[in-house]
Structure 1
Amino acid sequence: MDSHFRGTLWAILILFTLPLLTCTNCPGSCLCYSNGTVNCVGDTITDMPKQLPVHTYRLKLKDTNMNVINEQSLANLPLTLRFSLTHSQLHTIHPKAFHVAPQLKSVTLSFNNLSTLSARVFSPLTSLEQLSLNGNQLKTLAPDMFEGLEGLKELDLSNNSLSSPASDVFDGLTNLTFLHLARNSIKKFPPTIFHGLTNLHELVIYYNELEVLETGIFDELVNLVHLKLHFNQITSLPPQVFWSLRNLELLTLSSNQLQAIPEKSFYNMPKLKKLTIYKNPLLSLPYQLMGHMPDMTDFYLYSTNLTTVPGNLFANMSGLQMLNFHLNDKLRELPSDLFCCVPKLVKLSLKFNDLHYLHPRLFYRLTTLRMLLLNDNKLQNLPDDIFQGLERVLAVNLKNNNLRTLPGDIFLQNTVLMTLTLSGNPWNCGCSIRGIAKWIRHNERVVFDRDDVLCHNPAYQQLRTLGSLRDEDFNFCDATRISPRYFSTQEPTTPFHIISTSRQTPAVALTTTTPTTPTPTTKQLAPQQVTIQTNTPTTKPSALHTTSPPTTLQSPTTTLPDEEFLLITKAPLSYSMSPTFYDTMVVEQGPEFVHHNRYKGWVYVWFLPSDAVLARLFMFSYVLLVAAGLLLSLAAMFYLYRLDKIMDELSGNVLQGN
């Protein structure tokens, strides 16, 4: 027991003191750690550091001036398993450089100046699991470059100048799980180049110059999980090219030159979770495109030339949560049942499309939707119940469309709505806007850009915010309105009671003129008559009910502007006017003022659009001008008086002087 106890103590002592002893041998420009890692940095390093700690497990050299790894550079590292030399001036590796370090499991030679490598230079590394040669200037790879590396799991050849790798360059790498070939100049792969990589999990080929994919190129990659093909020049896909990838979870085909995709291209991939086909000049999509994909959560389909899509495009994606279907500047129509089968959708982006119309039932099954982006389209109106099923939606963006009004109860069921964006629309603040204006007043905290939601017309409401519109601003909407029938040759059959302009104006009750013959005025009158018919209002107390005969109107020969509507009326000579309402006009409070004048038996009436604030401003200006004129008159009289006195004084002085 004593000897065993003493042995244990010696072992513990050695384990704790050995790192301390060896760290004293750490060379300059290096940092040595007790876990066996040595980091050496600096351009003063031109060769492999000498006198490294015996227990060095990981050696990392960075930003050095080393040019060559010679035959004996790694000779004194018997325990080193991971070696890296990066961001340096390395341009040559001796063909036998790794013969003295066959124990290495990881070699990283990234971002150096390597342009060529000797054939089978890595073959002695039979235990190698990771090899990184990215960020160099390699143009070609010898066919037997990786011979003997059966245990290799990760190979990074990205950021080089490879253009046409040999068909058998990866043969024998049966345990490879990660192959990175991105950012090279590869235009075409041999059809059998990946057939030996049966255990490959991730294949990265983005940012190359691929124009075609050979038929059967992925047939043996039955364990592939990630396939990244974006940012190439692929113009077409062979039929069924992805069918063997039954374990694939990620496929990126974005930023290529695809104008069409063959039918059933994405069948037999039930584990697919993310698919990107955006930034392709797609003209159409086949009806049979997507297979059963219950695990799909993210789908990206934007920046295309699509004008519409099949109604079943997302039908097999019951687990879809994120749909980015935007920036399609020709997409004008969406099938009514497009979102029928995505009950878990959380975000739907339809922004920056060319949508003019949305079907009333388009969103009604999206019961879990949280964010809906419809901004920057060309929507002119929305159905009353378009958001009816979106009871959990938190954000809706409708800005920069062509919306002029919205139904007042369109957001009635969206009780948890937190952010609504409405600016950039040409809102018409007439009677139809009353409901949504009231909703905005009661939900100001929800309308994120409420200060920029402005009226574009009518003219008297321009630049007012929808939230500033009050109920009293719409009182005139409840009055009965009529539209004059110009140039009618028939006598009216109903009494003439209320007149309003074609631009929503206040109701006016009117009985007209003395029965005399019209005298020519400054406006010439056409001989043709204009007849106006109205119905007697039943609800407005301010309208006067009279029993007056048909009234004929003379129309002026000149065309009056929209801002002025002139009515010239004359009653028949034989009719006796009511003395109580003779020449009486009642004007209800509204957004316009009515002015009239009688002249030799004729009544001239015109309607001028205005508002109360503007009227008060004009009245104040008028009073101010009158007051200023009065003050100026008084001042003039005072100065004349003073001038008269001065003249008298001067005259008196002259007389005294004589």
Structure 2
Amino acid sequence: MCPYFNFAGTLWAILILFTLPLLTCTNCPGSCLCHSNGTVNCVGDTITDIPNKLPVHTYQLELKDTSVHVMNEQSLANKLLMLHFILTHSQLHTIHPKAFHVAPQLQSVTLSFNNLSTLSAQVFSPLTTLEKLNLNGNQLKTISPDMFEGLVGLKELDLSRNSLCSLASDVFNGLTNLTFLHLGRNAIKKFPPTIFRSLTNLHQLIIYYNELEVLEPGIFDELVNLVELKIFQNQITSLPPEVFWPLRNLELLTLSSNKLQAIPEKSFYNMPKLRKLTIYKNPLLSLPYQLMGHMPDMRDFYLYATNLTTVPGNLFANMSGLQWLNLHINDKLRELPSDLFCCVPKLMKLSLKSNDLHYLHPQLFFSLPTLGTLLLNDNKLQNLSDNIFQGLKRVSALNLKNNHLKTLPGDIFLSNTVLKTLTLSGNPWNCVCSIRGIAKWIRHNEKVVIDRDDVICQQPDYQLLRTVGSLHDEDFNFCDAPSTKARYFSTQEPMTPGHLISTSRQTSTVASTTTLPTPTSMQLAPQQVTIQTNTPTTKSSALHTTSPPTTLQFPATTLPDEEFILITETPLSYSMSLTFYDTVVVEQGPEFVHHNFYKGWVYVWFLSSDAVLTGLLMFSYILLVAAGLFLILAAMFYLYRLDKIMDKLRTEWERPPG
């Protein structure tokens, strides 16, 4: 008998398990989906009213995209087990004052994104166990002062995305258990100073995207447990002193996108738990020296899109735990104190991009041993010290794109052994002797310089459009020539070395000049120059002279502001034929330039000294000459043939008929 009863019991259990879902779903209305866990989802514009008949165990009813316009007095009747009611993205515009009297057991009500413009006073008061109320995305313009009366258990209240302009000072009275309040994306211009005084357990207060112009003194005095405060995207022009001081448990504060031009001293004191602070997109003109209190847990700081020209040297001194710092997109920020990053040893990412920085102190980054990403792009940096990145042992990404760099020290990245991505394009690289070191480094680290094909020489003309990484040691052989003493004709900084040789019958003189155009002309003006030359006696079949110290008339060129002429004092010995008298020949780095003087102008031609390029140019020249000769001969031949044909036609035309 025992085996029989066991078998029968098993059959009954299997039968119940398979038929229970069918039994529970027999009352599921059309356009709805009833789940065995007690949730019912109804979707579609064919639904014009809240379903009356639902499975008995329904605890959550969700209606979406319906045509429900009104909640009447009995819409929620006979739903004794329902705890969560959701009606969203529908046409609801009216709620009967007693609509919730028949469902006092509700724990959450969500009426988001409907057409509600008014609500009856105390319409939610019967819901004494209500914990969550969402009215966001409606058209509410006012809230009755006693709207939330009796909701002593309410923890979350969302009134965002409405048209609220003001709120009564006692509208939240009695909501002592509220932990989340969302008032964002309304049109509120001012809060009464005591509006939040009952919210002693509030953790999150969101009031962004309003039209707030001021914050009343003492408005946050009772929010001792507040963790998150979002005030960004308002019209706030000033802050009351010490307005944030009561918020000792605050972890996140956003003040960005307001109209603050100044911040009072010690505004961010007494907030030791703050982890993230944003004050970007404010027209700040300056920051006080005493601004930040002790913030060892600070991780993220955002300060960009301001009018700051500099910042206090101790701005981050109390943020020993800072990891992400965005101090960028300040188009007037031109100077940074040398000790600005002295006390943020855990910093992992530093963005200084898109500022107006012209210069960086050599020790600016010395105290950042954990920094992994450094963004310096889109500034106006003209040069960098050879040891500026020496302390960045862990930096793996460095961006120097779009600055005013003409060269870099060859060993500037030697200590950055884990560097993986470096960007250098968009700089006016001057590919003369001083760039030899960094060019060699780029050749040996091609995979690191991810934009190496765009790191292009802008000067001098003979290197124009070459990539810096394509420059080889032999391109700089002329840099190793013996140095000469020099005195400048003008005070401009030299850009490229060169040698200008001016010959005469009795003297030899050497001068250097900067980058020369290709081809170009320069207006000359006579100038008296005294040159001391120590030229030894030279024997030659063409000329045998000894040149004593000589005063000669030397034409000084008129060059652009960035160019100069310098006269060098060096022993020279030349043997020249009279053919080159009054002819100027310039050796310009690896190029040879021929100058002709004509009617007060100097005409310049460049010829590259590179063997392959010179051969190519000579071959092209010969090819062009040959092609020209061929075309001339062909033209002469065809003219000859044409003449013969014309003579024949003329003879036939003049021959008498018959």
- Normalised to the residue count of structure 1, the TM-score between the two structures is 0.84
* SS in structure 2 at match of 1:440: helix
Q: Which letter maps to 2:83?
A: L
Partner of 2:201: 199
- Structure 1: how far apart are the matches of 2:280 and 2:150? 41
Distance 1:142 1:597 in 2: 94
For 2:103, give the aligned amino acid: A
Shift of 1:559: 5.8
Supply the AA of the counterpart residue of 1:159.
R
**Could you tell me the percent identity over the aligned residues?**
78
Residue 505 of structure 2 corresponds to residue 513 of structure 1: yes
Residues paired across the two proteins, number: 615
Offset of 1:617 from its aligned partner?
5.5
What is residue 611 of structure 1 aligned with on the other side? Answer: 608
Once the 2 structures are TM-superposed, how far is the Cα of residue 531 of structure 1 from its aligned partner?
3.7
1:81-107 CA-to-partner distances (Å, cap 9, x unmatched) read 101111111111111111111111111
Q: Which residue of 2 aligns with 1:222?
A: 224
1:640 is displaced (CA, Å) by 7.8
The residue aligned with 1:337 is: 339
> Which residue of 33, 36, 60 corresponds with 1:34?
36
User: What is the distance in 2 between the residues matched to 1:580 and 1:594?
Assistant: 20
Q: How far apart in 2 are the matches of 1:524 and 1:74?
A: 97
Matches within 5 A, 1:233-312: 233-312=235-314
- 616-625 vs 199-208, greater mean Cα deviation: 616-625
Q: What displacement does 1:67 show?
A: 1.1
Query: 2:255 corresponds to which letter in structure 1?
Result: L
Q: CA deviation at 1:263?
A: 1.0
Contact 1:511 1:584 in 2 (8 A): no
Equivalents in 2 of 1:337, 1:103: separation in Å? 61
Q: Which residue of 1 aligns with 2:365?
A: 363
Q: Do residues 592 (structure 1) and 591 (structure 2) align?
A: yes
Give the CA deviation at 1:620: 3.5
Separation in 2 of the partners of 1:478 and 1:584? 31
Any unmatched runs of 5+ in structure 1?
Answer: 488-501, 516-522, 538-545, 568-576, 599-603
1:58 to 56, 60, 79: 60
1:129 to 1:651, Cα distance in 2 relative to 1, 3 A: closer
Query: Structure 2 matches for 1:146-185, cutoff 5 A?
Result: 146-185=148-187
SS of the equivalent of 1:472 reads helix
Q: 1:587–1:138: structure 2 CA closer, same or farther, 3 Å change rule?
A: closer
Q: Which of 406, 417, 436 does residue 404 from structure 1 map onto?
A: 406
Q: Are the equivalent residues in 2 in contact too, given 1:564–1:608 (CA < 8 A)?
A: no
Q: Structure 1 residues 111, 647: CA separation in 2 closer, same or farther (over 3 Å shift)?
A: closer
Residue 554 of structure 1: how far off its partner (Å)? 3.2
Offset of residue 116 of structure 1: 1.1
Matched residue, 2:437: 435
SS of residue in 1 equivalent to 2:42: strand
Counterparts of residues 108-123 of structure 1 (less than 5 Å): 108-123=110-125
- Paired amino acid for 2:332: K
The answer on 1:373 being equivalent to 2:375 is yes
Counterpart code for 1:206: Y
Structure 1 distance, partners of 2:331, 2:488, is 44
Distance 1:648 1:284, change over 3 A: closer
Corresponding residue for residue 518 of structure 1: none
- Which aligned pairs between 1:259-658 and structure 2 lie closer than 5 A? 259-479=261-481, 480-481=483-484, 504-505=496-497, 513=505, 529-533=528-532, 549-550=548-549, 552-556=551-555, 590-595=589-594, 608-612=605-609, 615-616=614-615, 618-632=617-631, 634-635=633-634
Match of 1:494 in 2: none
Partner of 1:519: none
- Tell me, yes or no, if the aligned pair for 2:166 and 2:190 is still in contact at 8 Å: yes
Q: Does 1:99 align with 2:101?
A: yes
Q: Take 1:558 and 1:149, find their aligned partners in 2: how far apart are those partners?
A: 90
CA distance in 2, matches of 1:435, 1:333: 28
Give the corresponding residue for 2:519: none
Deviation sequence 1:26-51 (CA, Å, 0-9, x none):
11100000000000011111112132
C-alpha separation in 1, matches of 2:412 and 2:37: 66
- Residue 116 of structure 2 corresponds to residue 132 of structure 1: no
**Match for residue 541 of structure 2?**
none
CA contact (8 A) 1:485 1:530 kept: no
Partner SS, residue 467 of structure 1: helix
| Contact 1:511–1:583, Cα closer than 8 Å, also in 2 | no
Partner residue, 2:146: 144
**Cα distance, 1:596 vs. partner?**
8.0
**Structural RMSD (CA):** 4.0
Residues 461 and 234 (structure 1), Cα distance of their counterparts in 2 relative to 1, 3 Å cut: same
Residues 357 and 382, structure 1, Cα contact 8 Å, conserved in 2: yes
Structure 1 counterpart of 2:24, one-letter code: T
AA aligned to 1:555 is F
2-structure distance, mates of 1:54, 1:181: 37
Tell me by how many angstroms 1:597 deviates: 9.6
Instruction: Output one character per residue of 1:180-230: Cα deviation in whole Å (capped at 9) or x when no partner.
Output: 111111111111111111111111110111111111111111111111111
Letter in 2 for 1:89: Q
Q: Distance in 1 between matches of 2:308 and 2:345?
A: 24
Is this contact kept in 2: 1:563–1:609, CA < 8 A? no
Deviations 1:303-333 (A, max 9, x none): 1111111111000000000001111111111
Residues 101 and 635 of structure 1: is their aligned pair in 2 closer, same or farther, counting only changes over 3 Å? closer
Q: Which runs of 5+ in 2 are unaligned?
A: 508-521, 537-544, 567-571
Question: Cα distance 1:503–1:379, how it changes in 2: closer, same or farther (>3 A)?
Answer: closer
How far off its partner does 1:117 sit?
1.0
1:304 and 1:595, CA in 2 relative to 1: closer, same or farther beyond 3 A?
closer
In the alignment, the residues of structure 2 paired with residue 324 and residue 43 of structure 1 have an alpha-carbon distance, to the nearest angstrom, of: 48
Distance 1:484 1:360, change over 3 A: closer
1:230-262 Cα shifts (integer Å, max 9, x gaps): 111111111111111111110111111111111
Change (3 A) 1:403 1:73: same
Does the CA-based 8 Å contact 1:594-1:606 persist in structure 2? no
Distance 1:95 1:187 in 2: 30
Partner of 2:517: none
Query: How far did residue 483 of structure 1 move?
Result: 5.1
Give, in whole Å, the separation in 2 of the partners of 1:430 and 1:317.
Answer: 44
Q: Is the 8 A contact 2:208 2:231 kept in 1?
A: yes
Which one-letter code corresponds to 1:470 in the other structure? H
Alignment-mate amino acid for residue 120 of structure 2: S
CA distance in 1, matches of 2:247, 2:627: 90
Trace 1:14-33 onto structure 2 (pairs within 5 A): 17-33=19-35
Question: Once the 2 structures are TM-superposed, how far is the Cα of residue 628 of structure 1 from its aligned partner?
Answer: 2.9
Describe the SS at the equivalent of 2:181: strand
- Relative to structure 1, the CA distance from residue 378 to residue 70 in structure 2 (aligned partners, 3 Å threshold; closer, same or farther) is same
What displacement does 1:18 show?
3.4
State the AA in 2 paired with 1:627: A
- The Cα offsets for residues 252-294 of structure 1, whole Å up to 9 and x where unpaired, read as 1111111111111111111110001111111111111111111
- How far apart, CA to CA, are the structure 1 residues paired with 2:354 and 2:533? 47
Cα distance in 2 for partners of 1:81, 1:580 equals 109
Moved more, 528-537 or 577-586: 577-586
CA 1:150–1:512 in 2, change beyond 3 Å: closer, same or farther? same
What is the aligned partner in structure 2 of residue 69 from structure 1?
71
Deviation of the 1:595 alpha carbon: 4.2
Alpha-carbon distance in structure 2 between the residues aligned to 1:566 and 1:362: 37
State how far apart, in whole Å, the 2-side matches of 1:565 and 1:313 are: 45
The one-letter amino acid paired with 2:505 is T
TM-score (norm 2): 0.84
